[in-house]
Amino acid sequence: MTIETLSTSRAYGGVQGVYRHQSTATGTPMTFSVFVPEHEPGERLPVVWYLSGLTCTHANVTDKGEYRGPCARHRLIFVAPDTSPRGEGVADDPSWDMGQGAGFYVDATQAPWMPHFRMRSYVEDELPALVAEHFPVDMARQAITGHSMGGHGALTVALRHPDRFRSCTAFAPIVAPGQVPWGEKALGGYLGPDRAAWRAHDAVALIEDGARLPDLLVDQGDADGFLAEQLRPELLAAACEAAGIPLTLRMQPGYDHSYNFISTFMADHIAWAAKRLG
């Protein structure tokens, strides 16, 4: 698998790069960013995967996430993919919460999305194999995190692969897409009307169906305009309590849904991952 280097720059002693490749999962070019801290030749480092939210690309967290300093201190690689396939010939929707920029980390089974919207396969299989081939990643030590729609992605990917990830955290995640308007629209559109098929893409449903993680960290701003209708962290708290999953849910006073919120607590999430990655 080949990659094209779009840019590299020095940061905190390491290298921040942006790369592109032709994806077999989506059938489109896909762009992603990777920060690699300073390291010894031949050394392999743990990795943190970051999944972005609605309307975002790799660039949002790369430009505004403030992860490079903490990753350099803890010596963690940080990988940020795009949120969906893009380009001419890729299905889209006039609304901002469906289509390009809103892939929801699922493999679509419905027209017109099915040919390209295969973000589950991309983030679970293709991109990890690509990154392992081209970067000094220790794939035995992986963590995952994400924001909003990407928080939904991080939780569901980790719950489906508990042996792969030693750490899972999220910023303002959509915890129960099967019970909120964003998720009902997206899962119905991509996967069809059978709600049983949605459960593999719903963190609360996965926990109810027996999926488990050692622990979780979730930060949520209490001034987030999407809190009551779309995010509903109390559903995750109830599911974790019933399943015996230790959940650290931090309601952050005065914080909204923006990257100012994410960047404020990013160092905590990197430290949480570092402690579990060793």
The per-residue pLDDT string of the chain (278 residues; one tens digit each, 9 = 90 and over) reads 899 999 999 999 999 999 999 999 999 999 999 999 999 999 999 999 999 999 999 999 999 999 999 999 999 999 999 999 999 999 999 999 999 999 999 999 999 999 999 999 999 999 999 999 999 999 999 999 999 999 999 999 999 999 999 999 999 999 999 999 999 999 999 999 999 999 999 999 999 999 999 999 999 999 999 999 999 999 999 999 999 999 999 999 999 999 999 999 999 999 999 999 99
Q: Which CATH architecture has domain 4-277?
A: 3-Layer(aba) Sandwich (3.40)
Is 32 buried (19+), middle (13-18) or exposed (0-12) by CB count in 10 A?
buried
Residue 229: the pLDDT is 98
Residue 141: the pLDDT is 98
Q: Which residues contact 22 (CB under 8 A, 6 or more apart)?
A: 28, 29, 30
Residue 51: the pLDDT is 99
Structural domain spans, the chain: 4-277
CA distance 158 to 203: 9
- 224 is annotated as an active-site residue: yes
Residue 170: the pLDDT is 99
Q: Which of 23, 148, 167, 219 is the catalytic position?
A: 148
14-22 and 137-146: which strand pairing? unpaired
Residue 1: the pLDDT is 83
Q: Which of 116, 147, 201, 257 is the catalytic position?
A: 257
CA distance 71 to 266: 10
